Structure 1
Amino acid sequence: MNIQSVVRNVYPNLTPYICQLADLPIEELKEALQKETVYKLSFNENPLGPSPKALKAMGEALQSLNLYPSSKGEKLQEAIAQREGVQRDQVLLSNGADEMINLAAQTFLEPGDEVVIPAVTFVQYEAAAHLMGAVPVKVPMTGKLEIDLEGIIQAITTETKMICLCNPNNPTGAIISDKQMGAFLKRVPKDVVVIIDEAYYEYADSSEFSTAVKYIKNHENVLVVRTFSKIYSLAAARIGYGIGNETLVEAIHHVRPPFNVNAIAQAGALASLNDQEHVQVSKQLNEKGKQLLYETFEQLGFEYVKTNGNFVYVDTKIDSDHLFQELAKKGVIVRILKGYGLPASLRVSVGAEEEVKAFIQALNEIL
């Protein structure tokens, strides 16, 4: 069989997710590096782990694995709606934030449509565009690696169907301020869907930041995407959600698979929402780690971005491939950003104090 003759036309633009060293689970990393202790600071995972309440609820849910879960996840929908001040039918659950982005693409994009994306941001937006045969239009960042909203407005054409914004932005940790977001949304045509990915919004501590959920009331084209993978530490459970206008959310339900979020994930997410003390401890841990990294980068003369996420972007002025390999030899794994045209830059997840100090020690030894 000639598989190339039957695959969709989008096939050449898509590549399977191939795990490089930085993408491996911790146990596989230990095996690959032949080390008993490895510090993985490449995936922006919460080192505190899930809430004990979430683990208890998930354990109890295991007793009913023979039963199908709620298709829409009504209890979790309602809990999210109450926290966000919206209606239940404005909330949609997904198998992680990645699936929500793909569902939006499947709902709104046709081959040839344009999707406007910042040049340095989460790669899933481009992948989702390619999945549907749409055309990613990348807008360069500002000189400070901030999202160029004016550039995005100028990039809108009659073919533009979607805009994707990550706020706080991954991998830089920079934000679009509330004032900027409000002014921007007023200028976006109503027939262009705006995806605002707030995967890291719980970590945002800038006084200028605000969630975009409040904008869905007057902007029917806005979909806010969230995840339980980051501060709630349920990355392996794969659960996210979207919040938008009722009509927009209902449109996405047309392509959403039934039972796309499993019962264990739903139980853990619901219990996590009810443990905000755990969230606060996670934020405190993150703040302490951030400050350690800031101090180190300042002492070394490295340029970095003060983050609103659980990771720090840094320009080391050193070839990142070399630095990555040397750190890996010492059992420390970070994320290089050469794929964005940033050959000397790293994204370092804020791990536990021990992990951050291990990175700092290894970095100093290499330098």
Structure 2
Amino acid sequence: MQLQKLVRNVYPNLTPYTCQLADLPIEDLKKVLNKDKVYKLSFNESPLGPSSKVIEAMQKSLLELNLYPDSTGEELKEEISRMEGIDKSQLLLSNGADDLIVLLAQTFLELEDEVIIPQITFVQYLASTHLMGAKPVFAPMKPDLSIDLKAILERITEKTKLIFLCNPNNPTGTIIPDSEIEAFLQEVPSNVLVIIDEAYHEYADSEEYSSSVKYVDKGFPVFVVRTFSKIYSLAAVRIGYGIGDARVVDAIHHVRPPFNVNAVAQAGALAALRDQEHVEQAIALNQKGKTQLYELFTEVGWKYINTNGNFIFVDMGRDSQEIFDSLAERGIIVRTLTGYGLEHSLRVSIGDEEGIHAFIQAIKEII
């Protein structure tokens, strides 16, 4: 078989997802590290876990596994539209945020279209661009590693089709001030779609931050991506949603598989939205852990960025791989950022109290 004549021309630009140490499930980490206890602070997962109401709803849905799910998730969409103050025609569900990012690329990108992506941000934007044979155009970050909207505007050409913004941004935890976004959108041509990924929206506590959902009704070419993987603790079942102009949503439906969101995920997400007390608990836990890690980094003299997510970007001023390896020896896994050319930095997820304590003690031992 001549594989190279069978695969698409974009094949050389695509890389399968491979699990490095930071990507392995907990049980696999225990085996690899030969540890009975490990702390995974590399995936930005919620340490609180789903609420009891979510578990109950998902267990009930298991009794109907023989039935196909609602293909559009009408009940869940009604709840989201009520909470966000939007029409259901402006909303669609997806198999996690990653699925929606791919669907957006499949819907709008042709060969040689240009996609503007900040230099340091979520890697799925680049992968989806390559998938469609489009051209990624990288915009440099500001000196403080926040997203530079001016640099993005300067890179818009007649070939620009999409712009990806992660707000709050992963892996830096920075936000784009709301005032800057509105001024930016006024400069973006109407034939360019700005995709704003708000995966960490619920964690943002900066007074300058605001969701961009409101810009959809103002007529700006904006599409907002959300997920249940973070604050709602539903990463395992993969469910997200998007909010945009009804015409954009309809266009994506032309590409979307009819049953891309399973019934168990829909039941869990609906129950999660109706348990906002649990969300407040997750925010409080995150805030407590964030304060503890700030204090640690200040004590050891490491530079960190005030975060609006459930993770912290820290610059240690030394080889991050050495710190990573030393932590791994102690059963603690974090995320290096060498793929971005940041050789001295780590992204540390804010875990539960036990995980944070273990991390703090390990850092003090290492240095």
TM-score range, shorter chain: over 0.9
Cα-to-partner distance string for 1:225-272 (whole Å, 9 max, x where unaligned)? 000000000000100000001111000000000110000000000000
Letter paired with 1:303: K
Q: Decide whether the 8 Å contact of 2:81 with 2:91 is kept in 1.
A: yes
Instruction: Give the Cα–Cα distance (whole angstroms) in 1 for the partners of residues 60 and 329 of structure 2.
Output: 41
Letter paired with 1:160: T
Name 2:359's counterpart in structure 1: 359
Cα-to-partner distance string for 1:47-76 (whole Å, 9 max, x where unaligned)? 000011111000000000000000000000
Q: Decide whether the 8 Å contact of 2:110 with 2:133 is kept in 1.
A: yes
Instruction: Give the Cα–Cα distance (whole angstroms) in 2 for the partners of residues 30 and 301 of structure 1.
Output: 31
Name 1:262's counterpart in structure 2: 262
SS of the counterpart of 2:15? coil
The offset of 1:357, in angstroms, is 1.1
Name 2:187's counterpart in structure 1: 187
State yes or no: 1:73 paired with 2:73: yes
Cα-to-partner distance string for 1:146-190 (whole Å, 9 max, x where unaligned)? 100000000101110000000000000000011011111111100
Name 1:56's counterpart in structure 2: 56
Name 2:161's counterpart in structure 1: 161
The offset of 1:218, in angstroms, is 2.2
The offset of 1:85, in angstroms, is 0.2
Instruction: Give the Cα–Cα distance (whole angstroms) in 2 for the partners of residues 347 and 279 of structure 1.
Output: 23
SS of the counterpart of 1:344? strand
Cα-to-partner distance string for 1:17-57 (whole Å, 9 max, x where unaligned)? 00000000101111110000000000000000001111100
Q: Decide whether the 8 Å contact of 1:220 with 1:248 is kept in 2.
A: no
SS of the counterpart of 1:322? helix
Letter paired with 2:136: P
Name 2:288's counterpart in structure 1: 288
State yes or no: 1:333 paired with 2:358: no
Name 1:121's counterpart in structure 2: 121
Letter paired with 1:241: Y
SS of the counterpart of 2:313? strand
Letter paired with 1:40: K
Instruction: Give the Cα–Cα distance (whole angstroms) in 2 for the partners of residues 351 and 323 of structure 1.
Output: 18
Using structure 2 for the length normalisation, give the TM-score: 0.99
SS of the counterpart of 2:342? coil
SS of the counterpart of 1:44? coil
SS of the counterpart of 1:212? coil
Letter paired with 2:189: P
The offset of 1:220, in angstroms, is 4.8
Name 1:273's counterpart in structure 2: 273
The offset of 1:89, in angstroms, is 1.2
The offset of 1:219, in angstroms, is 3.0
Instruction: Give the Cα–Cα distance (whole angstroms) in 1 for the partners of residues 206 and 221 of structure 2.
Output: 26
The offset of 1:325, in angstroms, is 0.7
The offset of 1:221, in angstroms, is 2.1
Instruction: Give the Cα–Cα distance (whole angstroms) in 1 for the partners of residues 161 and 140 of structure 2.
Output: 19
Name 2:14's counterpart in structure 1: 14
Instruction: Give the Cα–Cα distance (whole angstroms) in 1 for the partners of residues 126 and 219 of structure 2.
Output: 24
Name 1:112's counterpart in structure 2: 112
Instruction: Give the Cα–Cα distance (whole angstroms) in 2 for the partners of residues 338 and 364 of structure 1.
Output: 23
Name 1:238's counterpart in structure 2: 238
Name 1:38's counterpart in structure 2: 38
Name 1:221's counterpart in structure 2: 221
Cα-to-partner distance string for 1:308-338 (whole Å, 9 max, x where unaligned)? 0000000001111111111000000000000
Q: Decide whether the 8 Å contact of 1:178 with 1:210 is kept in 2.
A: yes
Instruction: Give the Cα–Cα distance (whole angstroms) in 1 for the partners of residues 288 and 146 of structure 2.
Output: 24
Instruction: Give the Cα–Cα distance (whole angstroms) in 1 for the partners of residues 51 and 152 of structure 2.
Output: 39
Instruction: Give the Cα–Cα distance (whole angstroms) in 2 for the partners of residues 360 and 141 of structure 1.
Output: 30
Using structure 1 for the length normalisation, give the TM-score: 0.99
Q: Decide whether the 8 Å contact of 1:121 with 1:170 is kept in 2.
A: yes
Name 1:171's counterpart in structure 2: 171
Q: Show structure 1 runs of 4+ deviating over 6 A.
A: none
5+ residue gaps, structure 1, are: none
Instruction: Give the Cα–Cα distance (whole angstroms) in 2 for the partners of residues 25 and 331 of structure 1.
Output: 13
Percentage identity across aligned positions?
63
5+ residue gaps, structure 2, are: none
Name 2:208's counterpart in structure 1: 208
Instruction: Give the Cα–Cα distance (whole angstroms) in 1 for the partners of residues 187 and 357 of structure 2.
Output: 45
Q: Decide whether the 8 Å contact of 1:221 with 1:248 is kept in 2.
A: no
SS of the counterpart of 1:18? coil
Q: Decide whether the 8 Å contact of 1:206 with 1:308 is kept in 2.
A: yes
Instruction: Give the Cα–Cα distance (whole angstroms) in 1 for the partners of residues 220 and 13 of structure 2.
Output: 31
Instruction: Give the Cα–Cα distance (whole angstroms) in 1 for the partners of residues 30 and 254 of structure 2.
Output: 43
Letter paired with 2:268: G
Q: Decide whether the 8 Å contact of 1:149 with 1:184 is kept in 2.
A: yes
